[in-house]
Amino acid sequence: MLYLAPLSFLYTLQNIGAFLNRGGPLLYVLGLCMIITLTIILERLFALQRKKIISDEIVDSVERLESDKDLERLVTLCQNDDTALGRILKISLQHLSWPKSENLEAVTTRARAEVNRMERGLVILEIAVGLGPLIGLLGTVFGLMLIFEGLGKTSGEQQTLYVAAGISHALLNTVAGLAVAIPAQIGYSYYSRKIESAAVEMENICADLLSRVYRNQG
Protein backbone atom coordinates (compact mmCIF):
# COMPACT_ATOMS: atom_id res chain seq x y z
CA MET A 1 0.00 0.00 0.00
CA LEU A 2 3.00 2.29 0.38
CA TYR A 3 3.16 2.92 -3.36
CA LEU A 4 -0.25 4.62 -3.11
CA ALA A 5 1.05 7.26 -0.69
CA PRO A 6 2.56 9.56 -3.39
CA LEU A 7 -0.65 9.36 -5.41
CA SER A 8 -2.72 10.19 -2.35
CA PHE A 9 -0.45 13.16 -1.60
CA LEU A 10 -0.75 14.46 -5.16
CA TYR A 11 -4.52 14.07 -5.02
CA THR A 12 -4.60 16.08 -1.79
CA LEU A 13 -2.50 18.82 -3.34
CA GLN A 14 -4.83 18.97 -6.33
CA ASN A 15 -7.82 19.31 -4.02
CA ILE A 16 -6.11 22.10 -2.09
CA GLY A 17 -5.22 23.84 -5.37
CA ALA A 18 -8.80 23.58 -6.60
CA PHE A 19 -10.06 24.94 -3.27
CA LEU A 20 -7.73 27.95 -3.47
CA ASN A 21 -8.63 28.64 -7.10
CA ARG A 22 -12.34 28.68 -6.29
CA GLY A 23 -11.77 31.22 -3.52
CA GLY A 24 -9.66 33.63 -5.55
CA PRO A 25 -6.29 35.27 -4.81
CA LEU A 26 -7.26 36.43 -1.31
CA LEU A 27 -7.56 32.79 -0.28
CA TYR A 28 -3.83 32.41 -0.91
CA VAL A 29 -3.21 35.32 1.44
CA LEU A 30 -5.40 33.70 4.08
CA GLY A 31 -3.59 30.40 3.53
CA LEU A 32 -0.28 32.15 4.23
CA CYS A 33 -1.76 33.77 7.34
CA MET A 34 -2.92 30.35 8.53
CA ILE A 35 0.55 28.86 8.07
CA ILE A 36 2.18 31.72 9.99
CA THR A 37 -0.43 31.51 12.76
CA LEU A 38 -0.03 27.77 13.25
CA THR A 39 3.76 28.07 13.16
CA ILE A 40 3.73 30.64 15.97
CA ILE A 41 1.24 28.62 18.01
CA LEU A 42 3.42 25.50 17.78
CA GLU A 43 6.64 27.42 18.43
CA ARG A 44 5.19 29.07 21.57
CA LEU A 45 3.83 25.69 22.70
CA PHE A 46 7.39 24.41 23.02
CA ALA A 47 8.97 27.69 24.12
CA LEU A 48 6.53 28.26 26.98
CA GLN A 49 6.87 24.87 28.64
CA ARG A 50 7.13 25.27 32.40
CA LYS A 51 10.54 23.59 32.52
CA LYS A 52 11.87 26.33 30.21
CA ILE A 53 10.45 29.13 32.36
CA ILE A 54 10.65 27.99 35.97
CA SER A 55 13.06 25.44 37.38
CA ASP A 56 11.51 23.46 40.23
CA GLU A 57 15.01 22.80 41.57
CA ILE A 58 15.65 26.53 41.92
CA VAL A 59 12.24 27.08 43.52
CA ASP A 60 13.00 24.36 46.06
CA SER A 61 16.43 25.88 46.71
CA VAL A 62 14.92 29.32 47.39
CA GLU A 63 12.37 27.81 49.79
CA ARG A 64 15.16 26.03 51.68
CA LEU A 65 17.45 29.06 51.80
CA GLU A 66 18.69 29.49 55.36
CA SER A 67 22.48 29.56 55.45
CA ASP A 68 25.41 30.82 53.40
CA LYS A 69 25.92 27.27 52.17
CA ASP A 70 22.36 27.25 50.82
CA LEU A 71 23.03 30.59 49.15
CA GLU A 72 26.17 29.26 47.46
CA ARG A 73 24.20 26.28 46.17
CA LEU A 74 21.54 28.61 44.78
CA VAL A 75 24.18 30.74 43.05
CA THR A 76 25.62 27.63 41.39
CA LEU A 77 22.19 26.47 40.28
CA CYS A 78 21.34 29.85 38.70
CA GLN A 79 24.67 30.07 36.91
CA ASN A 80 24.03 26.72 35.24
CA ASP A 81 20.33 27.29 34.59
CA ASP A 82 18.82 28.61 31.35
CA THR A 83 15.23 29.22 32.47
CA ALA A 84 13.66 32.67 32.69
CA LEU A 85 13.56 32.39 36.48
CA GLY A 86 17.21 31.36 36.61
CA ARG A 87 18.29 34.36 34.55
CA ILE A 88 16.26 36.73 36.76
CA LEU A 89 17.59 35.34 40.04
CA LYS A 90 21.12 35.40 38.64
CA ILE A 91 20.84 39.19 38.35
CA SER A 92 19.64 39.45 41.94
CA LEU A 93 22.42 37.23 43.28
CA GLN A 94 25.07 39.20 41.37
CA HIS A 95 24.00 42.40 43.12
CA LEU A 96 23.60 41.33 46.73
CA SER A 97 26.04 44.08 47.75
CA TRP A 98 23.54 46.67 46.53
CA PRO A 99 20.76 48.02 48.75
CA LYS A 100 17.58 45.98 48.56
CA SER A 101 15.67 48.70 46.66
CA GLU A 102 18.34 48.92 43.94
CA ASN A 103 18.56 45.13 43.68
CA LEU A 104 14.80 44.95 43.31
CA GLU A 105 14.94 47.54 40.53
CA ALA A 106 17.57 45.49 38.67
CA VAL A 107 15.45 42.34 39.07
CA THR A 108 12.34 44.16 37.83
CA THR A 109 14.17 45.37 34.72
CA ARG A 110 15.40 41.87 33.94
CA ALA A 111 11.94 40.41 34.61
CA ARG A 112 10.37 42.79 32.08
CA ALA A 113 12.91 41.65 29.49
CA GLU A 114 12.09 37.99 30.19
CA VAL A 115 8.34 38.58 29.94
CA ASN A 116 8.88 40.43 26.66
CA ARG A 117 10.88 37.45 25.44
CA MET A 118 8.06 35.06 26.37
CA GLU A 119 5.55 37.26 24.54
CA ARG A 120 7.52 37.08 21.29
CA GLY A 121 5.18 36.30 18.40
CA LEU A 122 1.96 36.96 20.29
CA VAL A 123 1.54 40.31 18.57
CA ILE A 124 1.30 38.46 15.24
CA LEU A 125 -1.47 36.27 16.68
CA GLU A 126 -3.23 39.41 17.87
CA ILE A 127 -2.99 40.93 14.38
CA ALA A 128 -4.24 37.69 12.79
CA VAL A 129 -7.34 37.78 15.01
CA GLY A 130 -8.46 41.02 13.37
CA LEU A 131 -6.86 40.66 9.96
CA GLY A 132 -8.20 37.20 9.07
CA PRO A 133 -11.92 38.11 9.17
CA LEU A 134 -11.26 41.41 7.39
CA ILE A 135 -9.50 39.71 4.49
CA GLY A 136 -12.24 37.08 4.47
CA LEU A 137 -14.85 39.84 4.34
CA LEU A 138 -13.06 41.45 1.43
CA GLY A 139 -13.11 38.13 -0.39
CA THR A 140 -16.82 37.81 0.41
CA VAL A 141 -17.46 41.21 -1.16
CA PHE A 142 -15.61 40.09 -4.30
CA GLY A 143 -17.83 37.02 -4.38
CA LEU A 144 -20.94 39.19 -4.23
CA MET A 145 -19.53 41.32 -7.03
CA LEU A 146 -19.20 38.19 -9.16
CA ILE A 147 -22.85 37.39 -8.51
CA PHE A 148 -24.07 40.78 -9.65
CA GLU A 149 -21.71 40.73 -12.61
CA GLY A 150 -23.15 37.40 -13.66
CA LEU A 151 -26.73 38.62 -13.25
CA GLY A 152 -26.03 41.53 -15.56
CA LYS A 153 -24.17 39.64 -18.29
CA THR A 154 -25.90 36.28 -18.53
CA SER A 155 -29.27 34.60 -18.34
CA GLY A 156 -30.75 31.20 -17.80
CA GLU A 157 -28.46 28.33 -16.86
CA GLN A 158 -25.32 30.41 -17.33
CA GLN A 159 -26.67 32.92 -14.85
CA THR A 160 -27.25 30.16 -12.30
CA LEU A 161 -23.66 29.04 -12.69
CA TYR A 162 -22.39 32.60 -12.11
CA VAL A 163 -24.51 32.93 -8.97
CA ALA A 164 -23.35 29.58 -7.62
CA ALA A 165 -19.70 30.45 -8.31
CA GLY A 166 -20.10 33.83 -6.61
CA ILE A 167 -21.72 32.33 -3.52
CA SER A 168 -19.02 29.66 -3.34
CA HIS A 169 -16.32 32.34 -3.64
CA ALA A 170 -17.92 34.41 -0.87
CA LEU A 171 -18.42 31.52 1.55
CA LEU A 172 -14.93 30.09 1.02
CA ASN A 173 -13.34 33.42 1.93
CA THR A 174 -15.60 33.84 4.95
CA VAL A 175 -14.73 30.38 6.24
CA ALA A 176 -11.01 30.88 5.57
CA GLY A 177 -11.01 34.22 7.43
CA LEU A 178 -12.63 32.61 10.47
CA ALA A 179 -10.27 29.64 10.21
CA VAL A 180 -7.37 32.07 10.63
CA ALA A 181 -8.93 34.14 13.42
CA ILE A 182 -10.25 31.35 15.66
CA PRO A 183 -6.93 29.49 16.27
CA ALA A 184 -5.14 32.85 16.58
CA GLN A 185 -7.60 34.02 19.24
CA ILE A 186 -7.35 30.77 21.17
CA GLY A 187 -3.55 30.80 21.03
CA TYR A 188 -3.26 34.46 21.98
CA SER A 189 -5.65 34.15 24.95
CA TYR A 190 -4.09 30.92 26.21
CA TYR A 191 -0.48 32.04 25.97
CA SER A 192 -1.20 35.51 27.38
CA ARG A 193 -2.79 33.93 30.44
CA LYS A 194 0.05 31.42 30.77
CA ILE A 195 2.68 34.16 30.62
CA GLU A 196 0.76 36.26 33.14
CA SER A 197 0.59 33.33 35.57
CA ALA A 198 4.29 32.57 35.11
CA ALA A 199 5.19 36.24 35.67
CA VAL A 200 3.22 36.35 38.94
CA GLU A 201 4.86 33.13 40.15
CA MET A 202 8.36 34.41 39.30
CA GLU A 203 7.60 37.71 41.03
CA ASN A 204 6.64 35.87 44.22
CA ILE A 205 9.77 33.72 44.09
CA CYS A 206 12.00 36.77 43.58
CA ALA A 207 10.32 38.60 46.46
CA ASP A 208 10.82 35.54 48.66
CA LEU A 209 14.51 35.36 47.74
CA LEU A 210 15.14 39.04 48.47
CA SER A 211 13.28 38.79 51.75
CA ARG A 212 15.33 35.80 52.89
CA VAL A 213 18.70 37.15 51.72
CA TYR A 214 18.40 40.65 53.15
CA ARG A 215 16.86 39.33 56.35
CA ASN A 216 19.84 37.04 56.79
CA GLN A 217 22.25 39.85 56.03
CA GLY A 218 20.54 42.03 58.56
Is 49:68 a contact under the CB 8 Å cutoff?
no
> What's residue 156's pLDDT?
66
pLDDT at 114 over 70: yes
C-alpha distances in Å from residue 84, one per residue of 90, 103, 116, 152, 195: 10, 17, 11, 63, 11
Reply yes or no on whether the pLDDT at 218 is more than 70.
no
Q: Say what the pTM is.
A: 0.83
Percentage above 70 pLDDT, the chain? 84
- The mean pLDDT value for 126-131 works out to 95
| Least confident residue range of 81-85, 133-137, 214-218 | 214-218
C-alpha distances out from residue 50 to 78, 135, 194, 209, Å: 16, 36, 10, 20
Model confidence over 3-23: pLDDT tens digits?
Answer: 444 444 343 444 555 545 565
pLDDT at 148: 76
Please write the tens of the pLDDT for every residue from 146-199: 777 777 666 667 777 777 777 888 888 888 999 999 999 999 999 999 999 999
Q: What pLDDT was estimated at residue 2? A: 40
Give the range with max mean pLDDT: 38-47, 141-150, 169-178: 38-47
10 Å CB burial of residue 73 (0-12, 13-18, 19+) is middle
pLDDT, mean over the chain: 85
